[in-house]
Chains A and B, each alone.
Chain A
């Protein structure tokens, strides 16, 4: 049954608002005291009527200027936050790499964090055991793997996080703009690995500002502007238009 589903991610008329509080009542006292005062927050409409279908095996780039809603859309896909209106359906196991070191415990060693991080993605001990050598090898952190991760540089952090995320066998991989932290050598290897995942039929959604990467790696680009889809199509066409305006 599940094999016949063609779509990996369906985003149906999604609206997302953020409330902007200037002075938020978090305690009971404040809630009672300010009950009558108009403490109405400003509402920011981050995403407006987003309608997308991403098929299995597609590699899609989300592009757009800061504040256009790319990261919010990615967070909605991971189910960290939920839309105010509309619906998001994902088919298959999903892994996300949204922020550097999410789910890392600074006092634990790199190795312990592999276990911790992979378990957050829903892997069992046995599954993690089998993947640890591959994860360490990909991260190139062999000498540091038993040091606490608080001693790591941000590049090392990213290498470890990325190595875990791509080795958990997810069907859908969501990656926010974090690859930029790595050096050229590691970035190349990441794209290489992602290309490998792509040929094995995984779905990848990537937020990036590097148009080269979009053109080289993604089949399709979605350009978000002020919370709406401005353009959606083959990478080359979308990036050309994008660079005309924003380049």
Chain B
């Protein structure tokens, strides 16, 4: 409860921080913010050529199949890798002024939500252009987004505070994200996975989220509600654990940084 009270009082700081994150990320780069969208689009082209033309995956409309999963995945990786380093990156200000420290990871995750939503508009454009179209199931999109948001907040609370104490966690995260990319049904579909490996895949919290996005946007069908409900519970639990860890570790931030 204290968190919400703090966030309300410091809403102006939260707002300026989010703006700073979005604008500052590609400061000085020629194409500026456009990179946020060009990057996943380039990846899309590469994966699409490799997996459908060279590896010959037999999925109709493979590009859109990939698109609907790759964009939410980019949102996930960008947030995790940026978020983990966020407290360390803001070290100089943490040492000098007091403000609720949670604002830092929260503004990273929230600024990435905004980038993601703009990517979704681009994706929606392609959905119509390629003739895929939308269904009523798109109304479930906010539910999936919010569960991903809460999940990311939990993960970022943990990683950003632990990184202060163990700096090379940053590199470990890079490797883990790569492993997770292939451990999530992004370039392949869930029914291509051998039954023996399905259980492992379902341990990955991103699996049900990516599956839900794909069900809603690509297959235009009801997502697996049991999995979705489970991931919402996981997200809420992780959020609370993350907050406890963050609060415990934040006491020594100023001395460790």
Contact = CB atoms under 8 A, between A and B. Distances in A.
Contact of B167 (A26, A80, A105, A128): A26
A123 B93 CA distance: 17
Interface string A111-140: 000011011111111001000000000000
Interface in A64-109: 75, 78-82, 94, 96, 98-99, 102-103, 105
Contact of A28 (B13, B97, B169, B255): B169
Contact of B16 (A79, A99, A115): A115
B2 interface: no
A102 B255 contact: no
Given A28-B169, A115-B16, A120 B254 contact: no
Given A75-B254, A102-B93, A80 B166 contact: no
Contact of A80 (B12, B20, B97): B97
Q: Interface residues of B toward A: which range? A: 20 to 34
A119 B255 contact: no
B97 A120 contact: yes
Given A119-B12, A120-B99, A81 B254 contact: yes
A125 B98 contact: no
A64 B10 CA distance: 35
B16 A116 contact: yes
A34 interface: no
B97 A27 contact: no
Contacts of A36: none
A118 B15 CA distance: 13
A222 B251 CA distance: 27
A27 B95 CA distance: 21
B110 to A, nearest CB: 15
A191 interface: no
A31 interface: yes
B97 A98 contact: yes
B10 A119 contact: yes
Nearest to A81: B254
A223 to B, nearest CB: 26
B11 A124 contact: yes
A123 B255 contact: no
Contact of B255 (A18, A99, A115): A18
A244 interface: no
Given A81-B255, A125-B12, A31 B166 contact: yes
Interface in A1-54: 18-19, 26-29, 31
* Among B93, B97, B252, B254, residue most surrounded by chain A Cβ atoms (within 10 Å): B97
B65 to A, nearest CB: 38
A96 B97 contact: yes
A99 B96 contact: yes
B168 interface: yes
A80 B97 CA distance: 7
Interface string B86-101: 0000000111111100
B9 interface: yes
Contacts of B13: 119-120, 122
Interface in B10-62: 10-13, 15-16, 20
B12 A78 contact: no
B231 to A, nearest CB: 30
* Among B12, B16, B251, B252, residue most surrounded by chain A Cβ atoms (within 10 Å): B12
A123 B10 CA distance: 7
A131 B15 CA distance: 19
B162 to A, nearest CB: 11
28 contacts: A18-B255, A27-B168, A28-B168, A80-B98, A80-B254, A81-B252, A81-B254, A81-B255, A94-B98, A96-B98, A102-B93, A102-B96, A103-B93, A103-B96, A115-B16, A118-B12, A119-B12, A119-B13, A120-B13, A120-B97, A121-B97, A121-B99, A122-B9, A122-B13, A122-B99, A124-B12, A125-B12, A128-B12
Pairs A-B, 6 closest by C-beta atoms: A102-B96, A119-B12, A119-B13, A27-B168, A82-B251, A78-B98
Given A27-B168, A28-B169, 6 more contacts: A81-B251, A96-B98, A103-B96, A119-B13, A122-B99, A128-B12
Interface of B: 9-13, 15-16, 20, 93-99, 166-169, 172, 251-252, 254-255
